Amino acid sequence: MQAIKSLLFNLILYSSVIPVSIFIIILFPFFKTSILQKFASLWILFILNALKVICGVSWKIEGLKNLPKSPCIIVSNHQGAWESFFLQTLYYPSTSIVKRELLYIPLFGWAFACLKPIYINRSNKIGSLKKVIKNGSNRLNNGASIIIFPEGTRARPHKGLKSFSNSCGLLSVKNNMPIVPICHNSGLFWKNRRFIKQNGQIIMRIGPAILGEDAKKITNTAYKWIYKNFKEIN
């Protein structure tokens, strides 16, 4: 039964992404990025609610009061597609860090490019870090929050939490902007590269904002907070 439900959900997901992508591309010359992101978020919430109704994957958010009203650096563990979608609904405007290959996907990638992510070449780590710091600083100082998955790639829950890159700490110190650590267990239900979605409740915890003058130290503080919560909910 869960396989049939997952099939129905995927049909809705992939059939709806085409018209939504076309619509964003058409609107791109006429609207600000924040408006386009709000429209994209309506689609995201539609998809996540379809996942909830059809496959039984609900979610519980703890610590919403910890989200500042001003721009910040959202730092989250990375397990799959769910958090990639959901985190984009927390702030407008916001900027995601994505691999550049994602923007080559016809229609979807082109629409994603219209939302102004920071795209990087993973094979050039030093160049990518410099780009994230430079472009991320510009976005932060122009009122956008930055979404970073410092593990770099998705990791299944049973493999634990991977080490963090220092980009979030460097961005925070350079721009005096807080890091907001986020931990979740979405990979238990919307499993990475798995067709069948498992019913259950995703728990997402939002931690208190972190500020400091030492990039490595505040990155490590974010890691420790996420690691502690990771052990509790995964």
Q: Tell me, what's the pLDDT at 112?
A: 93
Tens of pLDDT, residue by residue over 100-150, are 888 899 999 999 999 999 998 877 888 888 999 999 999 999 999 999 999
Tokens of 184: 């979740």
Q: What is the CATH number of the domain that holds 169?
A: 3.40.1130
Question: Phi then psi for 59, rounded to 5 degrees?
Answer: -150, 155
Q: Tell me, what's the pLDDT at 80?
A: 93
Domain count, the chain: 1
For residues 37 and 92, give the distance between their C-alpha atoms in angstroms, rounded to a whole number. 7
For residues 82 and 146, give the distance between their C-alpha atoms in angstroms, rounded to a whole number. 17
Which segments in the chain show pLDDT lower than 50?
none
Query: Which structural domain, as residue segments, surrounds residue 210?
Result: 2-233
